[in-house]
Chain A
Amino acid sequence: MIKNYYSIVVGALFIVLSLVLSSCASNYVMANGPCAVPQTQNLESVLASSRDILSDQDCTVAFDKHFDNLLMVAEGSPGENNNRRFSDFLQWSEKNGIIGNANAKQRYTRYFSRTFVSLPDEYSNCSSACPRISSVKSDMRVELNQKERGSRILSNKQLMLDAHQDYRKVQLLLEATCTSCRASAI
């Protein structure tokens, strides 16, 4: 009986503590909180401010919001050197332990390269990609939208054209491959 009572108390304490911590985190990220994204529209200033803010250990949870804000601001001031700015920012984030190396690479490639990182690279197509072809296709579509955004940020239409061409070709190859997998399984 005492043991049960003890476990209930510990459980309740745990729930209260998590609620307090999560409210703290959201307060930090909130518009007026110490981790809030900078309000300026100047890309260089936003990059510098975001670095300052994210240097605070308590603000690393706000990385996604800062990254999204950077993309938004960059769309407002497109330029061919923006990929270098994003690359530097992501490398800085990786160096400071805010995100991992794979995460940094994936983020950069999703927006500024024609390579689709959402494509599965494990096991064969018949056993891995084809059974979940609709989700593979929709992931690719999401990434294509990200590349379109990246191309706007860089003011580089060629990136968009290349990405669209690769997208269509890979979709065609996947469709043919999965049709052959289905037909061969019968």
Chain B
Amino acid sequence: MKQFLLILKQAYCHKNTVPKISIYTVLVICALYQSSVVASSQARPELEIFSKEIVQNIKQTSEVAGAMEQSLKDIISRLEKQEELFKAAHCDTDGKDMGCEQLRSQLADSYLEMLDLMEERLPKIEQSLKSTHKSLQKRIYKQMGKNRTAAGLQDLVKKSANPSHSPTLGKRALSKRVSKYYALVRNGSQGSLSVVAAELYLDSNEVIELISLIREEIGRSRLMVEIGQTWGIVSPEMQTTVQGVKSTIFGEEITQNGQISKLTASNHTSNYQSPLELR
């Protein structure tokens, strides 16, 4: 089409250099151009949200998060055992002897180890997620915000070849969350990819905020433990933080069975197609 326009421009702007083009030719060209414009507006461009770079980022995030979770699991289970021992020895109520002091110190060391590990690994995950989030934002804005209407979004949902995939319900471990997205991106169709992209975009934003909160907390917690070690106090906050890490990083497999999921589909599916039905 650009060539046609170029010929037109040359024909009418530089009449001396190019042979004259009849008005009929111009009309035919215009008609051709018009039809191509109409056709292109009818056939909306397909979504291209997941670039190779984004897919790589998601994969990397999933791997880093998985490795961190594995390391944290060992530390947390050690922490839990030490805590049990601490309580069993009644160190939490009346423990001023050497044994309790030793347990207290071990507990604090494990706790600091957990904080160190998170401090070391979280920036990598955060950076990877931020990069994914930024790329997704650009693409969603361009392809779904600027180039589509709300009804156009509905068309994308209808195209979805993966009706079983519906937005996430409940929390999952960070690595499971990300690897689920990775699997969906790898196997997804156009329609379901838009839903996955939207979910990942919003979810990554939430996780980035959580990570930044955790990173802020790490510094504060470290200070608390160090003061605790000096004064011989095991802060109850330690226990709370460990619980927080468990629910934030590992998640909880909460299944929210909504009202709809309890319904069983009826077999009475009418095949009638009304001419009034808008599609």
Residues of A in contact with B (beta carbons under 8 Å apart):
80-81, 83-84, 87, 90-91, 104-109, 112-113, 115-117, 119-126, 128-130, 136, 154-158, 160-161, 164-166, 168-170, 172-181, 183-184
Is B36's beta carbon under 8 Å from chain A? no
Contact B153 A173 (CB under 8 A): yes
Residues of B contacting A178 with CB < 8 Å? Answer: 145
For B139, the closest partner residue in chain A by CB is: A180
Contact B145 A175 (CB under 8 A): no
Contact B149 A128 (CB under 8 A): yes
Given A109-B278, A157-B266, 4 more A-B residue pairs with CB atoms under 8 Å apart are A121-B151, A156-B270, A170-B157, A172-B195
Residues of B contacting A119 with CB < 8 Å? Answer: 149-151, 153-154
How big is the B interface, by class? 35 or more
Residues of B contacting A129 with CB < 8 Å? Answer: 149-150
Residues of B in contact with A (beta carbons under 8 Å apart):
136-138, 140-141, 144-154, 156-158, 160, 163, 166-167, 194-195, 197-199, 201-202, 205, 260, 263-266, 268-270, 272, 274-279
**In the complex, A90→B158 CA distance in Å?**
26
Contact A156 B275 (CB under 8 A): no
Contact A164 B278 (CB under 8 A): no
Q: Tally the A-B contacts, defined by beta carbons under 8 Å.
A: 169
- Describe A's contact surface by its main secondary structure: helix
**In the complex, A120→B154 CA distance in Å?**
10
CB distance from B58 to the nearest CB of A (A): 16
Contact B141 A180 (CB under 8 A): yes
Residues of A contacting B276 with CB < 8 Å? Answer: 87, 90-91, 104-105, 107-109
CB distance from B188 to the nearest CB of A (A): 13
